[in-house]
Structure 1
């Protein structure tokens, strides 16, 4: 009888330990959430890694997945290979959804980013000669954005009313007969030697060794094209993804952006305000 009672007590103790361990594991799993974040390589990746560091303190594990172009991060998101991505403007996202019949949605903006005009041949905008070839991104949104930058720099002038979605056909005045050459955004920096000047998105400029504040002949000052966190429509209300948006606006991340990117990227104050 005594042996039987000892056996029962041991079994009860073991069961209690198993339940306790199981409960601890469940609590741990609930606490350690993993979000797979897609970004373009370069500064967006570095900023995401800073967010990853801050998120760990909140019990959120982030896996950062870098990509080398502007299309694949949305393809990966649409196919469920990543949970969110952080690299695009709402204008680019809207165009992507329209072209590919996807349903990716923005859930919060995180920072603004400036694009600039660069040249290895000239030191000032005024030096760019008649008939020069100017590079510009070939996707519709960054093409539109590039046209606005060239207009702001005084090189061309658009037809009235076309600023809200400009194309090359909307250029009304081109007094110095510039030729605008369309290239994939990631190729503009590597091919700058073959161009007289070019728009280069700042993530690619930094990745290729340029300092936008020092090296750009002209730097965009426009908060219209903010960078957003995006996810699939079915996950738009996911509280962990909303928390990720908030972490991009945390004091630590803001300080990191300000100290490392000198105003080329600027944190937003209210990520959920349109």
Structure 2
């Protein structure tokens, strides 16, 4: 039976984690003697980790404890304070922004996969079907909002000013032929918002969790070519040499995991190794 804790909000996640560790101390996640506790988004991160746990970890001598979180803040904060030993849910631009804003020092260990960001709609079949003044929902965190706008720009839905980077916002739009309106929402809420907006740019993990098939259902999808948004295993700086982390990094980039990702996600999640 998998040792997996599911949480819904930041507050509940922190509380559940604290209760789960109360019997053995708040530093258990960073202890080299116990299991390696890894905080992860449910899909596909926890699914990939649980594949490793169920099929590869025992042979490698790794005791792995997977904890699921549905927000993007708690995993890094818990890694920073030692409640967990590692996390697996984010990309480099997001981590750089988080470290800068929160004063944390989380570092990547190994990149595992890419979840292409996509534009979805219950009404339009292609971008040309978006009506004048349509409302498009975007992730409200800095990096993913910029990523979403770049996706729209790459597909000629809008035009961004030259030099718009990883902190681009709708204010950086220089041409908007359809007069689209943008609604900023927490990334996890975007699939549910599809009934209330004309379209939404949704992160791959949340799309999959909502039974959307990015490779099939997205109006447009990010290209994996030279894509900087690969998701990786991360730890607090200084913990990269933890033997348990090294074992997990090796397993996450093994041929077995590559095959699992390809077979299970059929192009909606792409191995990055």
TM-score bracket relative to the smaller structure: 0.7 to 0.9
TM-score, normalised with respect to structure 2: 0.84
1:27-42 alignment, distance < 5 Å: 34-42=35-43
SS across alignment from 2:96: helix
Match of 1:229 in 2: 233
Q: Deviations over 1:46-71 (max 9, x none)?
A: 11111212122111011100001111
Larger radius of gyration: 1
C-alpha displacement of 1:262: 1.4
SS across alignment from 2:65: strand
Match of 2:154 in 1: 152
1:58-97 alignment, distance < 5 Å: 58-97=60-99
Match of 1:110 in 2: 112
TM-score, normalised with respect to structure 1: 0.84
Match of 1:257 in 2: 261
C-alpha separation between the residues in 2 aligned to 1:52 and 1:183?
A: 33
SS across alignment from 1:188: helix
Match of 2:200 in 1: 198
C-alpha displacement of 1:108: 1.5
Match of 2:135 in 1: 133
Give the root-mean-square deviation of aligned CA atoms. 1.6
SS across alignment from 2:183: strand
Match of 2:175 in 1: 173
Match of 1:241 in 2: 245
Work out whether residues 67 and 73 of structure 1, in 8 Å CA contact, stay in contact via their aligned partners in 2.
yes
C-alpha displacement of 1:33: 6.2
C-alpha separation between the residues in 1 aligned to 2:213 and 2:230?
A: 20
1:212-227 alignment, distance < 5 Å: 212-222=214-224, 223-227=227-231
C-alpha separation between the residues in 2 aligned to 1:36 and 1:140?
A: 28
C-alpha separation between the residues in 2 aligned to 1:197 and 1:153?
A: 14
Q: Deviations over 1:215-266 (max 9, x none)?
A: 1111111322010111111212223212211211111111100001112222
Runs of 4+ residues over 4 Å off in structure 1: none
C-alpha separation between the residues in 1 aligned to 2:166 and 2:85?
A: 31
C-alpha separation between the residues in 1 aligned to 2:215 and 2:232?
A: 23
SS across alignment from 2:124: coil
Work out whether residues 33 and 59 of structure 1, in 8 Å CA contact, stay in contact via their aligned partners in 2.
no
Work out whether residues 139 and 185 of structure 2, in 8 Å CA contact, stay in contact via their aligned partners in 1.
yes
C-alpha separation between the residues in 1 aligned to 2:131 and 2:157?
A: 11
Which segments of 5 or more consecutive residues in structure 1 lack a partner in the other structure? Answer: 1-31, 270-274
Match of 2:52 in 1: 51
C-alpha separation between the residues in 1 aligned to 2:126 and 2:166?
A: 28
SS across alignment from 1:60: coil
Which segments of 5 or more consecutive residues in structure 2 lack a partner in the other structure? Answer: 1-32
Work out whether residues 147 and 166 of structure 2, in 8 Å CA contact, stay in contact via their aligned partners in 1.
no
- Count of residue pairs the alignment pairs up: 239
SS across alignment from 2:35: strand
Match of 1:210 in 2: 212
C-alpha displacement of 1:164: 4.8
Q: Deviations over 1:109-144 (max 9, x none)?
A: 111120110001111111001100001000001011
